[in-house]
Amino acid sequence: MSDADRPPLSVERDGPVVTLANLDAPRNRMSLAFMDALEATLPELARDPSVRAIVITAEGQENFSVGMDLKQLPQGVQKMGSLEAVFDQRLRVLDGIERMEKPVIATLFGYCLGGGLELPLACHFRLAAEEGAKIGLPEMDLGSVPAWGGTARLTRCVGRDQALDMILRAKKISGPEALRIGLVHEVWPLSELKDRAQALARELAAQPPRAVAGVLRCVVGAGERSLAEALAEERRAVMATMGSKDQQEGMRAFLEKRRPVFTGE
């Protein structure tokens, strides 16, 4: 199969876990075709109640993504009508990931630069390689500014001081350093990273989906609401679970001192 005929994205299902992988190794650029495929696939996963966790990764073990394929910018502008429309699509895709009511996990290894960090920042969990990761927003070196929400999401993730240090100095940090500043949740040897992401996805998929969706709505949107609004959203999430079969199963399992088995009902 020629590169022109090769799909930009693979979608693999293992029970309730779906894994999406960029198929542009070794660089795994975030091409126009890759973003189109993500935009088409994510709503389908959001609607499918049997999908309960998602892993976003990339082919091979060299790089998660070097970011946008800058050579495609003129093509993108021609296709979508303007540079803003190209960026708007990417913002829509990342917003769809962040607002997904199912946990989304990203694996960071090798180069995770520009869009290759901004996409993981939209995910709910980030796992990084212990060795070899180079994570950053290097747009300053290109005379520009992160364009896919990187300034806002990085600041919310690691705080103003760390975000300024990374962005203004165009720093590329390691997996252990990303863990130290709170950018990633876990660090694993590269050889174990993807397996660990799958294990975490299975763990999260076993949780009651109605409650998971409620927590994601509460936590992801918390920064946009007043305390009163956030508490009201939390109350709505709580009441949506009350009386459900999963909630009853959780109570029974607690009283019977066993692990609950949630079915999504």
Looking up residue 80, the CATH number of its domain turns out to be: 3.90.226.10
pLDDT at 260: 86
User: How many domains, in total, are found in the chain?
Assistant: 2
Q: Note the pLDDT tens digit of each residue in 38-63.
A: 999 999 999 999 999 999 999 999 99
pLDDT at 238 over 80: no
Percent of all residues in the chain with a pLDDT value above 90, rounded to a whole number = 72
- Could you give the CA distance from residue 160 to residue 169 in angstroms, rounded to a whole number? 14
pLDDT at 240: 80
* Residue linked to tokens 């394929």: 69
Same domain, 134 and 232: no
pLDDT at 1 over 70: no
pLDDT at 61: 95
Non-local (6+) Cβ contacts of 198 within 8 A are 14, 17, 19, 55
At residue 243 the predicted structure's pLDDT band, cuts being 50, 70 and 90, is confident
From the list 97, 124, 122, 117, the residue with the least C-alpha distance to 38 is 97
pLDDT at 256: 83
3-state secondary structure the chain: CCCCCCCCEEEEEECCEEEEEECCCCCCCECHHHHHHHHHHHHHHHHCCCCCEEEEEECCCCCCECCECHHHHHHHHHHHCCHHHHHHHHHHHHHHHHCCCCCEEEEECCEEECHHHHHHHHCCEEEEECCCCEEECHHHHHCCCCCCCHHHHHHHHHCHHHHHHHHHCCCCECHHHHHHCCCCCEEECHHHHHHHHHHHHHHHHCCCHHHHHHHHHHHHCHHHCCHHHHHHHHHHHHHHHCCCHHHHHHHHHHHCCCCCCCCCC
Same domain, 190 and 242: no
pLDDT at 209: 93
At residue 244 the predicted structure's pLDDT band, cuts being 50, 70 and 90, is confident
- Could you give the CA distance from residue 6 to residue 250 in angstroms, rounded to a whole number? 45
Backbone angles phi, psi at 101, to 5 degrees: -90, 30
Which positions are catalytic?
118, 139
- Could you give the CA distance from residue 144 to residue 138 in angstroms, rounded to a whole number? 9
pLDDT at 164 over 90: yes
Same domain, 198 and 88: yes
At residue 166 the predicted structure's pLDDT band, cuts being 50, 70 and 90, is very high
Q: Of residues 261 and 65, which shows the higher confidence score?
A: 65
Same domain, 80 and 180: yes
pLDDT at 150 over 60: yes
Q: Which string of b and e fits 11-47 if b means at least 16 CB within 10 Å?
A: eeeeebbbbbbbbbeebbbbbbbbbebbeebbeebbe
pLDDT at 245 over 90: no
Same domain, 169 and 214: no
How much is the average pLDDT of 65-94? 91
Q: Is residue 63 part of a domain?
A: yes
Q: What is the pTM of this model?
A: 0.91
How much is the average pLDDT of 19-36? 96
Backbone angles phi, psi at 100, to 5 degrees: -60, 135
Kindly report which listed range (14-23, 91-100, 170-179, 246-255) carries the lowest average pLDDT score: 246-255
pLDDT at 4: 62
Query: What is the domain extent for residue 195?
Result: 9-205
pLDDT at 65: 97
Q: Is residue 143 part of a domain?
A: yes
Across the chain, mean pLDDT equals 92
Q: Is residue 50 part of a domain?
A: yes
Same domain, 21 and 87: yes
At residue 3 the predicted structure's pLDDT band, cuts being 50, 70 and 90, is low
Beta bridge partners, 53, equal: 17
The answer to whether the beta carbons of residues 45 and 51 sit under 8 Å apart is yes
Same domain, 25 and 108: yes
Same domain, 221 and 118: no
